[in-house]
Structure 1
Amino acid sequence: MKKRTLYLTTGLLLVSILGVSTNVVSNHLKAVEAADNLNNIVDANESTELEKDIREVAFNQLSDEQKSLIKGTWEEAKTETIIAQPETAILYDESYAGKEVIAVEFNLNVAHKPNNMIVLVSQENSKLIGLGLID
């Protein structure tokens, strides 16, 4: 938003100094607005793609048996950043204890509770580092 205001102010200042026609000003303002909209779209897509990527990466590291239990697709999984604790997770790599990791929660196609699986993934290298325990 600040960039947009800066661009608009700069554009208007140039118009008053150079005496540019209103048609050119209109085109400049449209270009600034289009660039601002494009930046917003790119920012939103980057966030969405990152989340999708970690969910897909986590899914692809599961065994075929685990994958067969998942209801729907990996795209429906939820993510959350948590602190890995041995008391609340089975850590394949104990060096992650007390560190921030990404928890990817998949819904399972089972009739009993719990009906979800929490997969823990390293933030640094997206490696599967454990499974979250469910209360």
Structure 2
Amino acid sequence: MKKITLYILSTALLLGLIACSNESVQSSKNEEKIVKKDDVREIVWNQLSSEQKEWINGTWEDGKFSKITLTENMMIQVDDKSYEGKEVYLIDFPTKSKFIPNNMIVYADVNTFNYIGNGLVD
């Protein structure tokens, strides 16, 4: 009887430990995704050329991002036409220009955060 009780108690404890370890792995993966989403501006900033960075007024922290669906009209400065009709990040950086438009729009892939190209400003 003692062996059965000890076996059941050990099994329950082991299952409890396994369940707790899986939760922490899932939590850290979710937190990692949140951090990456918040850093999309920095990740794209690091892919810009030095000329583009010099044109921007400030740093990656001054950019604003949103999700949009690319249309054919928006893709004039995008080489990879496979993004047409797909959702991408739009990052809007302020520029040092004294005249309007005084911003630079950059597109990035929503999954990989890879720089796709620049958008038109008006």
2:67 alignment partner in structure 1:
81
Partner residue, 2:39? 53
Q: Which residue of 2 aligns with 1:116?
A: 103
What per-residue deviation string (whole Å, max 9, x for no partner) do you get for residues 47-83 of structure 1?
Answer: 4x33441101111111111100111111111001001
What SS does the corresponding residue of 1:81 show, helix, strand or coil? strand
Q: What is the CA RMSD across the aligned residues, in angstroms?
A: 2.1
AA in 2 matched with 1:99: K
1:126 to 106, 109, 113: 113
Deviation >6 Å, runs of 4+: none
- 2:64 maps to amino acid: K
Contact 1:79 1:105 in 2 (8 A): yes
2:68 aligns to what SS in structure 1? strand
How far apart are residue 88 of structure 1 and its match? Answer: 1.8
In 2, the alpha carbon distance for the partners of 1:64 and 1:70 equals 10
Amino acid at match of 2:67: T
Distance, in Å, in 1 between the alignment partners of 2:59 and 2:107 is 18
Are the counterparts in 2 of residues 52 and 75 from structure 1 also a CA contact under 8 Å? no
Structure 1 residue ranges without an equivalent (≥5): 1-41
* 2:21 match: none
Does the 8 A contact of 1:80 with 1:103 survive in 2? yes
- The match for 1:66 is 52
TM-score normalised per structure 1: 0.61
TM-score if structure 2 supplies the norm length? 0.67
Q: 1:46 to 1:127 in 2, by over 3 A?
A: closer
Count of aligned pairs: 93
Quick one: percent identity of the two aligned structures? 39
What SS is found at the alignment partner of 1:75? Answer: helix
Give the structure, 1 or 2, with the largest relative contact order (CA under 8 Å, sep 6 or more): 2
Counterparts of 1:18-57 in structure 2 under 5 Å? 47=34, 49-57=35-43
